[in-house]
């Protein structure tokens, strides 16, 4: 009788130790997953982003590639992630990352009237005429004066009116 009780106690202790080890392993795996998670992986649904030189930009995330693509009513806005100072994300599920390059994303606005906001707070409006490797070129005004804006200075690009 005494031996049976001793074996039962040892069995219970072994089960408790195994459960603790299992729980610790699960916590380690979860922590490792979060260490490998980018904040961009969490951008899904409605977001409120504070963007350098721009202020708050709100909208529903359409996709995340090299840029964050937001829909704000009829407008589409592309945001350079390195210019985001803080993010309030309503939906905490993980977003599906698309491999779209910034050129592919912004090219959707080709021939459209856009507004480019720089991290210095300067805004340029015009028709998108070129999407280069590291720049956007827009035609401004009635004389269609062309301005080149390097990607390194861009915080946000908003399509104001779709092109023809």
Give yes or no: residues 49 and 129 share one domain.
yes
Give yes or no: residues 104 and 77 share one domain.
yes
Give the list of residues 6+ apart from residue 36 with CB closer than 8 angstroms, or none: none
How far is Cα 157 from Cα 49, in angstroms, rounded to an integer? 14
Give yes or no: residues 116 and 66 share one domain.
yes
Instruction: List, run by run, the mean pLDDT of 10-residue segments along the chain (164 residues).
Output: 76 79 72 66 82 91 87 89 84 62 87 92 94 92 90 92 81
How far is Cα 93 from Cα 34, in angstroms, rounded to an integer? 13
Q: What pLDDT score was predicted for residue 66?
A: 87
Give yes or no: residues 74 and 145 share one domain.
yes
Beta strands per DSSP E along the chain: 46-51, 55-64, 68-72, 75-79, 84-89, 113-118, 123-131, 135-140, 145-150, 154-161
Give yes or no: residues 97 and 157 share one domain.
yes
How far is Cα 31 from Cα 27, in angstroms, rounded to an integer? 6
In total, how many domains does the chain have? 2
Give yes or no: residues 80 and 22 share one domain.
no
Q: What pLDDT score was predicted for residue 154?
A: 92
Q: What pLDDT score was predicted for residue 155?
A: 92
CATH at 69: 2.30.30.600
pTM above 0.85, yes or no: no
Q: Which domain holds residue 137?
A: 40-161
Give yes or no: residues 31 and 85 share one domain.
no
pLDDT tens by residue, 7-46: 778 788 878 777 777 777 777 666 666 666 676 777 778 8
Give yes or no: residues 24 and 86 share one domain.
no
How far is Cα 68 from Cα 156, in angstroms, rounded to an integer? 9
Give yes or no: residues 55 and 32 share one domain.
no
Give yes or no: residues 49 and 121 share one domain.
yes
Give yes or no: residues 110 and 150 share one domain.
yes
Give yes or no: residues 24 and 64 share one domain.
no
């Amino acid at each position: 009788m005494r031996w049976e009780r001793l074996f039962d106690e040892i069995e219970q202790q072994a089960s408790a130790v195994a459960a603790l080890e299992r729980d610790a392993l699960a916590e380690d795996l979860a922590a490792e997953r979060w260490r490998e998670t980018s904040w961009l992986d969490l951008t899904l649904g409605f977001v409120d982003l504070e963007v350098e030189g721009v202020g708050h930009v709100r909208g529903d995330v359409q996709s995340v590639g090299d840029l964050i693509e937001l829909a704000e009513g009829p407008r589409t806005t592309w945001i350079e992630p390195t210019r985001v100072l803080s993010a309030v994300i309503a939906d905490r599920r993980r977003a599906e990352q698309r491999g779209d390059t910034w050129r592919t994303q912004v090219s959707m606005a080709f021939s459209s009237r856009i507004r480019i906001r720089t991290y210095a707070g300067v805004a340029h409006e015009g028709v998108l005429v070129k999407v280069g490797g590291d720049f956007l070129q827009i035609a401004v005004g009635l004389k269609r004066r062309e301005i080149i804006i390097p990607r390194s200075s861009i915080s946000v690009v908003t399509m104001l009116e779709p092109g023809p």
